Amino acid sequence: MLLKIIVCSFLLSATFPTQAAWLAGAARVNITPNYPVRLAGYGSRTKLSEGVKVEIWAKAIAIAWDAQPPSVIITVDNCGVPGSLRDEVLAMLRPQGIDSARLAINSSHTHCAPALRGALRNLFPSEMTPEHLATVDRYTNELRDALAKVARDALADMLPSRLQLGYGSVAFAMNRRLPTPNGPVNQPYPQGPTDHDLPVLKITRLDGKVRAIFTSYACHCTTMSWNFIHPDWAGIAQLHMEMAYSKDGAIALTAIGCGADQNPFPRRTEDDVRIHGYDLAHEAVRVGNSTVLTDLHGPLRCDIKTLALDLEPPPGHDDLAQLASTKTGQTQRHAQHFLGMLDQHQNLPNNVPYIMQNWAFGSDLDMIMLAGEVVVDYGLRLKRELDPKRLWVNSYSNDMPCYIPSERVLKEGGYEGAGAMIYYLRPSKFAPGVEDKIIGALREMVPAEFVNKKPKNGNK
């Protein structure tokens, strides 16, 4: 009998070399409202949602290395979770030992999910009715409780596990900043920069069952534009991944990379969203089932910081007054808001608080989480300056302050470079230097062993 135990222990240790160090758990919770709500994503909507096409979910992975405190990754089928809501969830999780650096909330950015209090504050051309505002407040509170619950459930599910990393590629993302004589417009631009990498994190229990599979892809979730609840390609991908590992009861999570200027292509039909979701899931499962995955080791080093990103000087009182009296919709509301601040002798904001997070898994993987709608240039630059074979970059993480343009996009202008600041209720666009400030701060957070000693294209 003793010999049998020794042999079994040897076989387990050979199959799961990290079994003594990692604890991991996963959980999910249905966050589909059972009542009509106002949906975020598109400012043209004026009515409550018309129904549910596909349910939406929040998923969580809890991990801990050896005797370290646990860390939690949450993915949410929503257009964007604001930092104020994250703060509330964090306060609810502190009794479980979760601090700010060890909580990452990643939004899928589906444009067919409920609006949230504090997010995209000037998305719509007119104020919501009291009835519509009540649905937003109700759902925001319910989502807060659901996010705390799914994190706690994942923490309670933690067991010895193996964490493995692999990379694949899918190709349905396409740059959407088509150059024209009057500046870039939101149209397919096949020649524009893209990032088709698909990192895959696989979590396996000691009995060989896959507990979770986590992916990220740099593309907007804007396949669908109807007024129904739907998780877009990210949610469809999760459904297919979970079906692929259904015998294990695995939980699938999907985050978004630096895809703020990338749209799925083709788009707008149910067949499109089904195909994109299936294609991503098929590739993620192929990677997850491969024999060339990298085992991740600890310790898990977690860091978080907030920068102040400078804005250009805002419009003056006279310019705002003219806009408020001559424009309509979001532009008028934007001008009225800041004109009201000036009339009350308040200073207009001159910067945007910006959250950045870094998780280093030993020397095997560096995972970066960036707030807001980050354009593809950031992901591509980071893969030049850091080791792309050990790098994972998410955006839409922890807060939704606005679009985050690169220096190139800022100079070119257009929606991502300037126009979208109206919908996020920012008084002006970013001042030059925003990209270098973010990258410089990240370089201070990322451990030295992940830095590419010979960066390409002359990057510092």
pLDDT of residue 452: 85
| Residue listed under structure tokens 């083709």 | 266
pLDDT of residue 191: 98
pLDDT of residue 12: 42
d(C-alpha 330, C-alpha 154), whole Å: 40
| Residue 279: strand, helix, or coil | helix
Going by the DSSP 8-state scheme, the letter that residue 415 receives in this structure is H
**Which helix (H) or strand (E) segment is 394 a member of?**
strand 391-394
d(C-alpha 395, C-alpha 419), whole Å: 20
Tell how many helices (H) and how many strands (E) occur in the chain.
11, 19
Q: Which two tokens stand for residue 422?
A: 């109206």
d(C-alpha 233, C-alpha 236), whole Å: 5
Q: Which two tokens stand for residue 80?
A: 């964007």
d(C-alpha 18, C-alpha 162), whole Å: 6
In this prediction the pTM is: 0.94
Phi, psi (degrees; rounded to nearest 5) at 435: -65, -50
Q: Which residues of 412-444 are buried (b: 16+ CB within 10 A; e: fewer)?
A: bbbbbbbebbbbbbbbbbbeeebbebbbebbee
Using an 8 Å Cβ cutoff, are 452 and 427 in contact?
no
Using an 8 Å Cβ cutoff, are 212 and 253 in contact?
yes
Residues ≥6 apart with Cβ < 8 Å to 93: 72, 103, 148, 151, 152
Quote the distance between the C-alpha of residue 444 and its chain's center.
22
Using an 8 Å Cβ cutoff, are 229 and 56 in contact?
yes
Residues ≥6 apart with Cβ < 8 Å to 454: none
Q: Which two tokens stand for residue 369?
A: 């989480």
pLDDT of residue 457: 52
pLDDT of residue 287: 98
Sign of the four-CA dihedral 179, 181, 183, 186: negative
Of 204, 400, 404, nearest to 288 (Cα)? 204
Residue by residue, pLDDT tens for the chain (460 residues) are: 333 333 343 444 444 444 448 999 999 999 999 999 999 999 999 999 999 999 999 999 999 999 999 999 999 999 999 999 999 999 999 999 999 999 999 999 999 999 999 999 999 999 999 999 999 999 999 999 999 999 999 999 999 999 999 999 999 999 999 999 999 999 999 999 999 999 999 999 999 999 999 999 999 999 999 999 999 999 999 999 999 999 999 999 999 999 999 999 999 999 999 999 999 999 999 999 999 999 999 999 999 999 999 999 999 999 999 999 999 999 999 999 999 999 999 999 999 999 999 999 999 999 999 999 999 999 999 999 999 999 999 999 999 999 999 999 999 999 999 999 999 999 999 999 999 999 999 999 999 999 987 655 544 3
Using an 8 Å Cβ cutoff, are 285 and 309 in contact?
no
Residues ≥6 apart with Cβ < 8 Å to 3: none
Which CA distances in Å does 294 have to 165, 283, 287, 375, 453?
A: 5, 17, 11, 28, 22
